[in-house]
Structure 1
Amino acid sequence: MRDDQADRPILVGYDDSPESRDALRWAVEEARLRKLPVLVCHALHWPYALRPVAREVMTQIEQAALGVVDEGVRRAKELAPEVDLQPVLGKGTPAAVLLEVGRGAELTVLGSRGQGGFDGLQVGSAAVQVPAHSVGPVVVVRPSLQPPGGQDARVVVGLDGSPPSLAALDFALDEAALRGGSVTALCCWSDCGSASWPEPLPFVDSNALRRGAEARFREVVSHLAARRPEVTVFTEFVTERPPTCPGRLDEGRHAPRPRQPGERSSRLPAARPGHPDRAARILVPGRGDPRRGAEPTTAARMSGEQGGGR
């Protein structure tokens, strides 16, 4: 655990919906692994702001909201009695409350949707707004997700070389280390000089560009992975978009599929100080459709300068 996270809690949004219960379970397990406290947060949002109500009516509404928070704390205590739990009742929309309280949190966790919306809604407004505007990492938990562990803990992270993507890789390495799992670093690279583009650039060596980008991608991943020598890191460098998604991320999780045109698989040594015999295994694992997967979706935002490999 880093020194700057020693006292920072994990924040979880809870409204007693099935999705928020899934998020609560995920957050409590994360807190148990990290040895951090949990803030169980519920947002009280009176929808008719322009029409005030009698004080006694508002008091009843607040008591009902407090009951939701207490229920969340009770459920969390049953899941992990050793975790320090604190109730939080905020006033405002769920996204606004989570963003404000999340400023002091190490991690914000919420379900893919809440009590609102309509039947069949896949992603609620808070699950879109909070990751987009949060100053820290956010985990959006899909329904019925069991916290993974061991070989089942496969973390997939996308990199484009930007500082936020490097922060996401750091977060992915930490998560994999906590659960004894692996990391798959994915780069989807498009070459505007290739013949597949509508108007490819003239006098451009597409193969040289791709080789340079792939080498730099592997170099950056290897550099950052040296911080977590106990984590096995795979890389996938994709230069062509596959015509279909062959399966979900959680299907055939450790079985590589046949390579597609433009993809490469190899084994490269990773620069791991103190571990000269360890190597980052580089292969092309199965890909899937993230819109239908049962994996948590994480958005890691930069909170400072990231120097690894850049």
Structure 2
Amino acid sequence: MVAPQRAQRSHVLLGYDGTGDAALRWAVEETRLRGLDLTICHCWHWPYPEGHEDPRVKAALQRAGENLLRQGVRQAGDLGAPGKVHGLLRRGPVSDTLVRESGDAELIVVGSHERRQVPAGSTAVRLPACTHRPVVVVRRYGRPRGLVVVGVDGSESADAALGFAIEEAALRESDLRVVYAAWEPGVVPDWELPLFTDRKKLYRARAAELDELVRPWTERYPKVPVEVSLLLERPREVLLDAADGADLLVVGDRGVAGVDPLLLGATSSAMLHHAPCTVAVVPPRDAAPRAA
């Protein structure tokens, strides 16, 4: 069900390390589309055990961080960021810092190298499991293809993911493809298991759920072209295939399996590791902050 329009946050928060400009370009584009300011956060850290600090080396590391941050702020201005651009230098782990600084952010943007698989311990994987804000993990930035894809299921976060996706599609004047891959017998409640012995009944039941989920959003955004796909297949393979050729893939942070609150759902995690495009991971609305 469509929730009441929430108050818009003040800025987009970008985690910036200076390696490539895809995430910076995406963040600037988000500020332009949403009419928000941009906060660029760079984290530096002392790489050796506490008690072994050399003040001169420590000062040099901090100055390097300051210079990198100035570079990012300057580049954001050159790219046409429409509002204020704030630089934020912090010492500490990136994920923990971005969680702390994201309280009044509309969304968080971080980069991911363009290789096919994202390392398991990277910020791109850890951050979406810890924050209560949408996280956009940018693989590349190029010519728009005009397509946003969202994966949905029967979970609490599916409605939030769909809302984020259709808003992005509207802002970008893109098409939206809603994908429900409904073959997950291992994670549904026991009372639903008999549905998996009759594919026609399962399809009808999931089609009714999908219509109930999608209809309020298409009524709110009638100008967004929406294609809806319901497939009795496993989500991972279906979503990876659907994301090929998309500008953005949107998923909820956890599916119907009810995983540990400090972990991402299996499908969301797989998309971050393997999707060919930028991925947004969206928590349920009004989600409480989680430990980083």
Please classify the TM superposition score into its range, dividing by the shorter chain length: 0.7 to 0.9
Equivalent position SS for 2:98: helix
Partner AA of 1:137 in structure 2: P
Partner of 2:19: 17
Q: What CA distance in whole angstroms lies between the structure 2 residues aligned with 1:88 and 1:207?
A: 55
Aligned-pair RMSD on alpha carbons?
3.2
Which structure is higher in RCO with an 8 Å CA cutoff and minimum separation 6? 2
- Do the aligned partners of 1:136 and 1:300 also contact (CA within 8 Å) in 2? yes
Partner AA of 1:135 in structure 2: H
Partner of 1:286: none
Q: Which runs of 5+ in 2 are unaligned?
A: 187-192, 248-270, 288-292
Q: Deviations over 1:46-87 (max 9, x none)?
A: 121323323333222111111111011011111015331000
What displacement does 1:237 show? 0.5
Distance 1:93 1:121, change over 3 A: farther
What displacement does 1:234 show? 1.0
1:179 aligns to 2:172 (yes or no) = yes
What displacement does 1:247 show? 5.8
Partner AA of 2:15 in structure 1: G
- Do the aligned partners of 2:37 and 2:82 also contact (CA within 8 Å) in 1? no
Partner AA of 1:213 in structure 2: R
Distance 1:171 1:244, change over 3 A: closer
Partner of 2:258: none
Q: Deviations over 1:68-120 (max 9, x none)?
A: 11011011111015331000111111111111112221110001149xxxx98
Q: What CA distance in whole angstroms lies between the structure 1 residues aligned with 2:182 and 2:226?
A: 19
Identity of aligned residues (%): 34
Partner of 1:108: 108
Q: Deviations over 1:267-299 (max 9, x none)?
A: xxxxxxxxxxxxxxxxxxxxxx98655421000
Distance 1:82 1:201, change over 3 A: closer
**Rg larger for:** 1
Partner of 1:146: 142
Q: What CA distance in whole angstroms lies between the structure 2 residues aligned with 1:23 and 1:155?
A: 17
Q: Flag the structure with higher helix content.
A: 2
1:134 aligns to 2:131 (yes or no) = yes
1:302 aligns to 2:290 (yes or no) = no
Which is worse superposed, 174-183 or 50-59? 50-59
Q: What CA distance in whole angstroms lies between the structure 1 residues aligned with 2:246 and 2:61?
A: 48
Q: What CA distance in whole angstroms lies between the structure 2 residues aligned with 1:291 and 1:65?
A: 28
- Do the aligned partners of 1:248 and 1:290 also contact (CA within 8 Å) in 2? no
Q: Deviations over 1:122-162 (max 9, x none)?
A: 346100001111101000000x32263xxx22111111122
Partner of 1:122: 118
Q: Flag the structure with higher strand content.
A: 2
Equivalent position SS for 1:68: helix
Q: Which runs of 5+ in 1 are unaligned?
A: 194-199, 254-288, 306-310
Partner AA of 1:75 in structure 2: Q
1:249 aligns to 2:251 (yes or no) = no
Partner AA of 2:215 in structure 1: S
Q: What is the TM-score with the length of structure 1 in the denominator?
A: 0.72
Q: What CA distance in whole angstroms lies between the structure 2 residues aligned with 1:296 and 1:203?
A: 33
Which is worse superposed, 41-50 or 22-31? 41-50
> 229, 254, 270: which one pairs with 2:222?
229
Partner of 2:162: 169
Q: Deviations over 1:195-222 (max 9, x none)?
A: xxxxx85995442232122122122211
Q: What is the TM-score with the length of structure 2 in the denominator?
A: 0.76
Q: What CA distance in whole angstroms lies between the structure 2 residues aligned with 1:166 and 1:238?
A: 18
Equivalent position SS for 2:103: helix
Partner of 2:182: 189
Q: What CA distance in whole angstroms lies between the structure 2 residues aligned with 1:243 and 1:39?
A: 33
The alignment of Structure 1 onto Structure 2 pairs a total of residues equal to 252
